[in-house]
Structure 1
Amino acid sequence: MKFISLKSRGGNYLVVAENVAWLRDYENGQTQVGMVGGAPLLVAGKIDEIAASILEQANAAE
């Protein structure tokens, strides 16, 4: 199980990388991150930046 960090305007999240289901562009430079079995998270950053961050963190050596 690999945790990744997602930054939000209201605080930061640590989520299990395997639980990220989808990304959706949102307003004001934010992105919705869909979670398996839960409500989407609203995080700061454009969809391309968030996708790159998730992949980088998920593929990083432990």
Structure 2
Amino acid sequence: MTHHRDLATKICVVCRREFAWRKKWEQVWAEVKFCSERCRRAKVSSSGPPMPSSTDGNADS
């Protein structure tokens, strides 16, 4: 059984978070750049507002 710590990882080009290899990316792992569909859409749609940072400390503005 493969453990999470043994999986390959990359850094998302949008949110800069580390993400791990997934079975659905097995054939295209070399081309994977985004950790999620949300980040993929945010990169493609550059005309929209930037994604909020989860570390800015202003949860309720």
**Band the TM-score falls in, shorter-chain normalisation:** under 0.3
Where is the strand percentage greater, Structure 1 or Structure 2? 1
Return the structure number with greater relative CO, CA threshold 8 A, min gap 6: 1
Q: TM-score by structure 2 length?
A: 0.25
